[in-house]
Amino acid sequence: MHRKIVFPRSIRYLLAVAEHKSFTRAADALAVSQPTLSQQIKQLEESLDVQLLDRSGRSVRLTDAGEVYLLHARRALGELHAAQRAIHDLQDLSRGSLRLGMTPITDYLTAPLLDAFNAHYPGISVSTLEMPQHDIECGVAEDRIDVGIAFTNTLSSMAASSKIEAHVLFDEALNLAVGQGHGRAGDRSPFSAATLAEEPLVLLSPDFVLRRYVDMYCRQHGITPHIAMETNSLSVIVEIVRLGRLATILPDTIATAQHGIQSIKLAPSLPNHTITLICRNGGYKSPACVAFGELAVDWCSLRARQQTAAVSTPSQRRTPETALVQR
């Protein structure tokens, strides 16, 4: 492999001759023969149709044209050096960018992951875009986004075409979430489907996947939920629930992460849903993208270990999960 930067030989030689003010010494420094320099520089002069060096005197010196040419040549060389450094930075993950697509709910779940990523690679600018799952898949396939985080592992038809690949990060229980002032607060026993039907709920709009999960659950168990309120904003739901009058169904992690909200298991439980990482299959992955994938895996395994540890003492909170990953 060349350690040398890609740059015209003739100009490099000219630089050396100008520096040493001598063909012979420059040839020594460059570890080439002196005639080689004469030849190369002559060619450069011919291609520019101008005399760059004045060889008449005792020592070689630059002509006016040589002076001005070298000024620019040095800058050009500097640019290519800068290019190499920039690339190196990119490889080092000390710079770069990551375009991340996620469904509207997953951002609550992966905010700690994003935070950890930024803490590790502060030079990489992350831009997150909320979009439906289908857009995520298309965006990844067409390289409009580098990586996506979606709410389900049931990929659309496009996924089959092996253009994208999906990795399950973790899966998540869907529980009833109530505020501390709610009548069910403090219930230890699981919530039955029948009881759920009587409970006034605040739910996401029907176009959200999570809502569709809930609807499917109710249909399967022959109940009609009492929907007191619908919204397309997760934060509205969280605040309403926190006030204590209405309940909702939320991923366990979101519910327990919020102050003043507690999570109550359902029986029978809703099917777990998965948080999935989506990226291109086979194509080029930027270093930042690779790093994000690796960090995500590490973060999830750490998260799993913490969760197992916490379950043994079932009453309380989970520790904040900032998985640290070494490069």
Partner DNA sequence: TAGCCCTATAGGCGTTCACTATGCATCGAA
Partner DNA sequence: TTCGATGCATAGTGAACGCCTATAGGGCTA
Residue 39 interacts with, from DNA, its own copies, none (CB under 5-8 Å by kind):
DNA
Give yes or no for a contact between 78 and 48, defined as CB atoms under 8 angstroms apart: no
| Alpha-carbon distances, residue 139 vs 17, 91, 144 (angstroms) | 53, 24, 5
Q: How many angstroms separate the CA atoms of 16 and 10, rounded? A: 10
Strand partners of residue 317: none
Residue 306 interacts with, from its own copies, DNA, none (CB under 5-8 Å by kind):
none
Minimal distance, residue 26 CB to DNA, in Å: 8
Minimal distance, residue 22 CB to DNA, in Å: 4
Q: Is 221 helix (H, G, I), strand (E, B) or coil?
A: coil
Residue 61 interacts with, from its own copies, DNA, none (CB under 5-8 Å by kind):
its own copies
Closer residue to its own copies in complex, CB, 20/184: 20
Q: Which two tokens stand for residue 311?
A: 């379950």
Minimal distance, residue 49 CB to DNA, in Å: 16
Closer residue to its own copies in complex, CB, 56/312: 56
Give yes or no for a contact between 316 and 262, defined as CB atoms under 8 angstroms apart: no
The secondary structure element, H or E, covering residue 25 is: helix 23-30
Indicate the DSSP class of residue 31: T
Minimal distance, residue 144 CB to DNA, in Å: 15
Q: How many angstroms separate the CA atoms of 128 and 163, rounded? A: 21
Q: How many angstroms separate the CA atoms of 167 and 211, rounded? A: 23
Tell me, letter by letter, the H, E, C secondary structure of 225-244. CEEEEEECCHHHHHHHHHHC
Minimal distance, residue 217 CB to DNA, in Å: 35
Q: Which residues bind DNA (CB under 7 A)?
A: 9-10, 22-24, 31-43, 53, 55-60, 161, 163, 282
Determine the distance from the C-alpha atom of residue 35 to the mean position of all C-alpha atoms in its chain, rounded to a whole number. 54
Closer residue to its own copies in complex, CB, 90/209: 90
Closer residue to its own copies in complex, CB, 10/106: 10
Q: Which residues bind its own copies (CB under 8 A)?
A: 1-2, 4, 6-8, 10-11, 44, 46-51, 54, 56-57, 61, 63-65, 68-69, 71-73, 75-77, 79-80, 82-84, 86-87, 90-91, 96-97, 142-143, 280, 282-284, 286-288
Minimal distance, residue 137 CB to its own copies, in Å: 15
